[in-house]
Amino acid sequence: MSEQQHREEQLTERVVESFDGAPDPRLKELMQALTRHLHAFAREVRLTEAEWQQAIGFLTATGHITDARRQEFILLSDVLGVSMQTITINNQAYADATEATVVGPFFTERSPEFALGDDISGGAPGEPCWVEGTVTDTEGRPVPGALIEVWEADDEGLYDVQYDDDRVAARGHLYTDADGGYRFWAITPTPYPIPHDGPVGRLLEATGRSPMRASHLHFMVEAARLRTLVTHIFVRGDKRLSSDAVFGVRDSLVKDFESQPAGTPTPDGRDVGNRPWSRVRFDIVLAPAGAAA
């Protein structure tokens, strides 16, 4: 071992050892592992002082643009695939339970409640879409009263919270019926870019990556004694399925959004005017709470 290698390894060991007295064993494990990996990265790429300063500036800018309505650190985690990796680790495969994916930065608490069959779009621009399905457990038993939160971007590629007028649109929650069924009107998902006017956007541009997300509709499903599911469904045929900016696509979540010509009768008799609409079925299977593979 060269003198240079010895100095570098000795420094890493000293920093790792500095956390030996941490009273929380889990915090000790996290900080020591983080130190080892960060030091290994710096040594592998032979990080320059100028690059280190640029990284500090990037993180500072990420903090400055983050506020109550925009979480740039989540966006950074998303585009680095860390969000999806964390979700994959914490939602272990179990029987035929529906796969989880990223929550994204635009979920909000206290969404409006809707009855089964209602229209959650709230006037958001977009093609009407009938969404239906069931919620069951992995034994095939219906889950009545399951809470389903749904949210999506509009046809302009924006979520309601990205507007400045405090609108609430294309989001809401409802509950499954006695047979575990649910149904509602939304809008047909379309591709849109993640916010790319900040440091994360500049990172994507510098690395030649697109900020576009594949078309999707968000779901969060909760029920007693079952694992909470956060997921999306994606539109089959979307050319961005293989290049989703946040790596959220899973093959099992790609669904057929069936186009219906203008004038086609709707499932509930709703008059959608003389325009086309779509329909999709998404049957959700929840794993038991605390389930492991």
Note the pLDDT tens digit of each residue in 23-50: 999 999 999 999 999 999 999 999 999 9
Instruction: State how far the Cα of 276 lies from the Cα of 284, in Å rounded to an integer.
Output: 26
Q: Which residue has the tokens 């009855």?
A: 115
Instruction: State how far the Cα of 170 lies from the Cα of 187, in Å rounded to an integer.
Output: 8
Return all residues near 7 (Cβ < 8 A) that are at least 6 apart: none
Q: What is the mean pLDDT of residues 187-215?
A: 97
DSSP assignments along 163-217, one per residue: SSS----SEEEEE--TTSEEEEEEE----EEPP-SSHHHHHHHHTT---EEPPEE
Tokens encoding 106: 């635009």
**Which class for 88: exposed (0-12), middle (13-18), buried (19 or more C-beta within 10 A)?**
middle
Judged by average pLDDT, the poorest of 104-108, 179-183, 247-251 is 104-108
Tokens encoding 253: 């979540």
Question: Is the model's pLDDT at 293 over the cut of 80?
Answer: no
Going along the chain from its start, the domains and CATH numbers come out as: 3-76 (no CATH), 94-286 (2.60.130.10)
Q: What is the pLDDT of residue 20?
A: 98
- Give CA torsion, residues 165, 160, 242, 138, to 10 deg: 170
Q: What is the pLDDT of residues 72-129, one digit of tens each?
A: 999 999 999 999 999 999 999 999 999 999 998 889 999 999 999 999 999 999 999 9
Q: What percent of the chain has pLDDT over 70?
A: 99
Question: Is the model's pLDDT at 157 over the cut of 80?
Answer: yes
Query: What pLDDT band is residue 256 in, cutting at 50, 70 and 90?
Result: very high
- CA-wise closest residue to 118 among 162, 156, 172: 172
Q: Average pLDDT of the chain?
A: 96
Q: What is the pLDDT of residue 292?
A: 65
Q: What is the pLDDT of residue 274?
A: 92
Q: What is the pLDDT of residue 63?
A: 97
Query: What pLDDT band is residue 237 in, cutting at 50, 70 and 90?
Result: very high
| Coil vs helix vs strand at 12 | helix
Q: What is the mean pLDDT of residues 145-158?
A: 97
DSSP assignments along 128-162, one per residue: EEEEEEEEEETTS-B-TT-EEEEE---TTS--GGG
